[in-house]
Structure 1
Amino acid sequence: MASLDSVSLAILLGAVLVMAGILSSLLALRFGAPLLLVFLVIGMLAGDSGPGQIQFDDVRTTYLVGSVALALILFDGGLKTRFASIRTVLAPSVVLATVGVLLTALITAPFAKYALDLNWTESLLVGAVVASTDAAAVFLLVHTQGLRLRPRVGATLEAESGTNDPFAIFLTLMLVEYISLGSSSAGHVLMEFLQEAVLGAVVGFFGGRLVVIALNQVALPQGLHAPFVTTGALVIFGGSQIMHASGFLAVYLAGIIIGNRPTRAHNSVVTFLDAATWLAQIVMFVLLGLLVSPSRLGASVLPAVAVALVLMLVARPLAVFVCLAPFRFNWRERIFIAWTGLRGAVAIFLASIPMLVGLSKAYLYFDVAFVVVIISLLLQGWTLAPAARKLHVALPRAERGPRRVELDLPGQLEQQLVGYPVQSKSLYFRRGLIPSWSKPTLVIRNENILTPTEADPIAPGDYIYLLAPPEKAESLDRFFVDMQPSTAPDPHLLGDFMVSGEHTLAELAEIYGVKVSEDEGKLTLADYFDVHLDRAPKEGAELALDEIVLVARSISGGRVNVVGLRLPEDEETPAPLTRWQALRRKLAELWTSVAGV
């Protein structure tokens, strides 16, 4: 019975620790503290050096839980990644995820060698352990601090964070193998890398396609689609690892394949994985905190702080600037990308590998990684929002998303039912706007179900359900949030080819002779972008209007407030002159007349 009681006690204590971590996240969100730091501290307090006095040194269990958690985190990240959004930044992201990780490790190694009194191989292992960024930490802090990164910067960080973990893991494993066996040629390392990368990509691609086929063809009972996809991800990860391929790369690519294909129960899969990933992170962070011994940290804390500062202020910035040199990033974007190289649980997880294989100085690697993560979260985490605003690479997230309900429709994959509460200040209620690819289907009012015709006019407090493609459902949000007041467009931008987004299509048709229908003539240019774009408008977005092209030049409150006009080239009918061109022509005519006199 004593053994049964010990098992029950372990379950109770584990559940209490996880619950404490979840509840403490409310304080972290309130005061901006990184959640990872909260969970690590809870694990430390519960450990043998804290008031909890829990004796825990099971590195194998920690590695197992960490592997599963990291696989789920990468799979979830891939599932939410739209390939169209990262396609334009794929090259710089891959360079950062490979060359950037290697450069970071190489630059950090000399400082680690002299600060920690290690040989060159051991110091390079320290650099490899802390070289990769943590996607979960970066984007959790971005969202909790109310930031919306500029598209190119956000997509680059997203793709880099998702793809640099496999390379850092490969680099760490190769160095651990070299230290353990004492010999490994450069050719062997290169062949190992190619094998893991190529096989991982192949397994991830075909594994993701097989999961999509099975998900759409097999008639699973309601509620089992999400667990099926989650276990499928773990099968892909485990199978890749057994084949000596990169399981982390495979599971990330599989997530991208599944997330960018039409599948059944897509929204329930995403929701389930969010919860599973969140729980896995909590358990992993608490276990990593339990492994930390504050009394052991005393001897290495000062050298570890020096390594952390060199990593953040020297190694990461140099690697980013070198890797992004061939690409068109301005200096503000490069500085911000360098500063957002947050270290998280991945670094501590990698540091547990030397402990697992029993390397000498293994606890030193672990302690250094722990100190680096703490300093990174404290210094970079709390300054992320001020840095983003100071460098003008992010805009405040002014609106909160509406409460969206998504329902899958059995028998087809092209449409789903999306529901929203109608708010009095929403774009839908105030202007009656709805995108052309969505279709209002039913309205719930005072617990009565009505058709859109029966419910006309729609009133605040109603719930409206629309048919929309699953991949575009999130784009409906902007029509049902409270409209932000539009700022006045910059008068210096407005000329013959720049107009305010509040002008109507009818006014534009009268000036430029384009043809618009009577109904569309009442729309403003900002409305026209909202109705016909698949996504929220961004600077540079284009829409054709008869023979001219409208170009979004400035965005305010999530809407277009300055529109550029690209007119057709016609030799017989010259395009209207800009104000500057007209002024120059008048000055030339005046000079001619004066000279003639």
Structure 2
Amino acid sequence: MTGINALFLLTGLLLFISVLASTISARLGLPLLLLFLGVGMLAGEDGPGGIVFEDFFIASLIGQAALSVILLDGGLRTKVSSFRVALKPAAVLATWGVIGTAGLLGLFATWILDVDWRLGMLLAAIVGSTDAAAVFALLRNSGVRLNERVQATLEIESGANDPMAILLVTALVGMLLQPETASVGGFVWMLTSQLGLGAILGLAGGWVLSRLMARLSLPDGLYALLILSGGTLVFAATNLLDGSGFLAVYLAGVVVGNRRSHATEHVLRVMDGLAWLAQAGMFVVLGLLVTPSKMLDYATEAFAMAVFLTLVARPVAVAIGLAPFRYPRNELLYVSWVGLRGAVPVTLAIVPVVMGVPDSQLLFNVAFAVVLLSLLVQGATVPLAARWLGVEVPPRDEPRDKREVWVSEAAAVDMLEFCVEAGAKAEGRHPDELGSDHPGHDVRCVALVREGGLHRLTPDTRLRPGDSVWMIAPDEISERLARSFAGSRGELTANASFFGEFVVDPGSRASDLADAYGLRIEEAERALGMGELLAVRLGRPPVVGDRVEIGAFVLTVREMGDKGRITALGLKCPPLGGGR
């Protein structure tokens, strides 16, 4: 019992320190995942902890289990609408992107490490795919709001590229250990089964889980366990049938997350904590597994490979793969830069060690070093690169909090909390008067919190700065409603600067606006609506933040509906002096 309790004590202590370390992550500008790795390395063989952990099988088991939880949570938070703008390009990056990156990097690795070409290609295949854990964590917690096309491309790619990476690693391990059994037909069949079974079983499993969640009546805490256990079943069953369990569990999460029910909010809250636990546990274990002194033996080669991967192999593969989709140059550069490596490459690097591939320790140490450099350099610059390359859009005017109150199995009302700022449009008005600003929608105040206490609403009640207001209102107007509570500075100024001074109805005729403002448009464009004009000139599915120049004017997508329809445009006029 002493040994078991000591193990529990050690596990709890490492996770406890990892969570406390997260409080300094933002101050240091370091990715949180890197801090988890650091805790594991400090506790490991070369650190003050002195713990010797060399069980690659256990580490692989923990890594795969954690990745399944992280991918499930990522799928739950992925909106189907993001597939509208990024499914095809992300699918290209998840297949060709991995092959192209691995091919170029493999040639470089073979040369710089002076090894057999198959070993060089195997190392490149290990680090050739982006990592879902790193991408989901860093993009969603970086503090920046990326335009939907860029964020969706990176997230869908990272959630779907594991089958190709696993295929390449498995095939190259087979070529090294049993070259006589390798065949092109075997590779094609493996890829087909990985992608096909992963997609079919993931979608089917997600449909079953979403139906169960909507129909079963369980204690609130059990819904998340239902989805977690169901996702684990989908993951394991797909793997047993030679499909991609990672792809399957991600798609199952997408289906469940987009078929909202009375239990969805409970599931998301619990899964968020479980995903963080999985990330912390996985990266601490991987940190324990590595021996920094051995990794330093290949520091020069690993640094050269990381530079080549980041500045040559990944950008070339991205540029070729996304060429048909007309991504702007700044978006191509950002997608290339945020090709984050993390737990997946390290987990794949364990495979050759377990399989007994010659020089597999070399592969593991170099791959781990590349991951560290990726998290340290690329991960730490996610917000900076977004601002520098102009793929960031201003933060939404959002409620401070949002709750769903389900009144039946199929119907819910949205409760939104807003804080009244000084100079806001809502200041000095009765809360229920705000509904008149949104005709056609039922908007009512259900609670007013003033000076920390619940304030009784009367006909004479007027809103003051600092009041917290809970409103029943449809979520679709939450952004517009939030503007009524925002002051005359801060986010509204940023929005006006980015989107333009005027809000334009996308259904208005281009000819009317052209005549009113002196816009120069083609004769064939005069009959189009303004939204249609922008979409035609873009030549790709629009997202919030997309813009086109019409002479000295700039037309920007300000709001989008759920089905990819532009609902508001911003018009930015040239300065009075005529300059830009």
TM-score by length of 1: 0.78
Corresponding residue for residue 60 of structure 1: 57
| Cα distance in structure 2, aligned partners of 1:476 and 1:463 | 14
In 2 relative to 1, CA 53–473 (structure 1 residues): closer, same or farther, beyond 3 Å? farther
Q: Name the CA shift for 1:139/1:237 in 2 (closer, same or farther; >3 Å).
A: closer
C-alpha separation in 2, matches of 1:127 and 1:376: 14
Alpha-carbon contact 2:404-2:412 (below 8 Å) kept: no
Contact 2:399 2:482 survives alignment (8 Å): yes
Aligned twin of 2:544: 538
Where in structure 2 are the equivalents of 1:23-422 lying within 5 Å?
23-182=20-179, 183-395=181-393, 397=395, 402-409=399-406, 411-422=408-419
Q: Deviations over 1:279-298 (max 9, x none)?
A: 00100000001111122223
The letter of the residue matching 2:3 is: S
Deviation per residue, 1:148-202 (Å, 9 max, x gap): 2122222222221221123222322332233333321010110111112111111
Report the CA distance between 1:478 and its aligned residue. 6.0
Give the drift of 1:76.
1.3
CA distance in 2, matches of 1:104, 1:377: 18
What is the rounded CA distance, in whole Å, between the counterparts of 2:80 and 2:229 in structure 1?
23
Structure 1 329/368 Cα, relative in aligned 2: closer, same or farther at 3 Å? Answer: same
Specify every segment of 5 or more residues in structure 2 that has no aligned partner in the other structure, as ranges: 506-512, 515-542, 548-553, 560-566, 573-580
1-side partners of 2:20 and 2:479: how far apart? 28
Structure 1: any 5+ residue segments left out of the alignment?
504-510, 513-536, 542-550, 565-597
- Could you tell me how far 1:385 is from its partner in structure 2? 3.0
Question: Structure 1 residues 487 and 341 mapped into 2: Cα distance closer, same or farther (>3 Å)?
Answer: closer
What letter matches 1:243 in structure 2? L
1:190-226: per-residue Cα shift (whole Å, max 9, x none)? 0111112111111111100000111111221232111
Tell me whether 1:553 sits opposite 2:556 in the alignment: yes
Mapped to 2, the partners of 1:70 and 1:118 lie a distance apart of 31
- For 2:195 and 2:140, the matched residues in 1 are separated by 31
Alpha-carbon separation, structure 1, partners of 2:140 and 2:123 = 30
Q: Structure 1, residues 352-395: CA drift from partner, whole Å, max 9, x if none?
A: 12222232222211111111011112222233333322222224
The structural deviation recorded for 1:338 is 0.8
Q: CA deviation at 1:84?
A: 1.1
8 Å Cα contact 1:404/1:477 also seen in 2: no
Please list, as runs of the form range in 1=range in 2, the aligned pairs for 1:479-498 lying within 5 A after superposition.
484-486=491-493
Q: How many Å separate the matches in 1 of 2:21 and 2:463?
A: 41
When residues 435 and 83 of structure 1 are mapped into structure 2, their CA distance, relative to the original with a 3 A threshold, is: farther
User: What is the alpha-carbon distance in structure 2 between the residues aligned to residue 482 and residue 145 of structure 1?
Assistant: 25
1:443 aligns with 2:455: no
Q: Deviations over 1:43-100 (max 9, x none)?
A: 1111111110112112222111111111111111111111112312211111011100
2-side partners of 1:8 and 1:70: how far apart? 27
Going from structure 1 to structure 2, the CA distance change for 1:45 and 1:217 (only over 3 Å counts) comes to same
The residue aligned with 1:575 is: none
Please, what is the CA RMSD of the aligned residues?
Answer: 3.4
Contact residue 409 and residue 416 of structure 1 kept, 8 A: yes
Residue type at the aligned position of 1:500: F
Q: Which amino acid aligns with 1:214?
A: L
State whether residues 214 and 263 of structure 2, in contact with CA within 8 Å, keep that contact through their aligned partners in structure 1: no
Closer/same/farther in 2, CA of residues 11 and 319 from structure 1, 3 Å limit: same
* Count of aligned positions: 513
Q: Distance in 2 between the 1:18 and 1:488 partners? A: 40
Say if 1:552 and 1:425 are closer, same or farther in 2 by CA, change over 3 A.
farther
The 1:479–1:47 alpha-carbon spacing in structure 2 relative to 1, beyond 3 Å, is farther
What does 1:557-576 correspond to in 2, within 5 Å?
A: 562-563=570-571
Post-superposition offset of 1:106: 0.6
Q: CA deviation at 1:14?
A: 1.0
> In structure 2, how many angstroms separate the alpha carbons of the residues matched to 1:481 and 1:381?
32
Q: How far has the Cα of 1:403 moved from its partner?
A: 3.6
Question: In the superposition, relative to structure 1, how do residues 200 and 307 fare at CA in structure 2: closer, same or farther (>3 Å)?
Answer: same
Of structures 1 and 2, the larger Rg is shown by 1
Report if the CA contact (8 A) 1:442-1:465 is conserved.
yes
**8 Å contact from structure 1 (residues 109, 120) kept in 2:** yes
Instruction: State, as a whole percentage, how many aligned pairs show the same letter.
Output: 38
Structural mapping, 1:423-442, within 5 Å: 423-425=420-422, 429-430=426-427, 432=434, 433=437, 437=441, 439-440=443-444, 442=446
Distance in 2 separating the partners of 1:53 and 1:381: 28
Query: Do 2:71 and 2:133's aligned partners in 1 also have CA atoms closer than 8 Å?
Result: no
Is contact 1:415–1:470 with CA below 8 Å preserved after alignment?
no
Amino acid at match of 2:239: Q
TM-score (norm 2): 0.80
| 1:166 and 1:249 in contact (8 A); partners too | yes
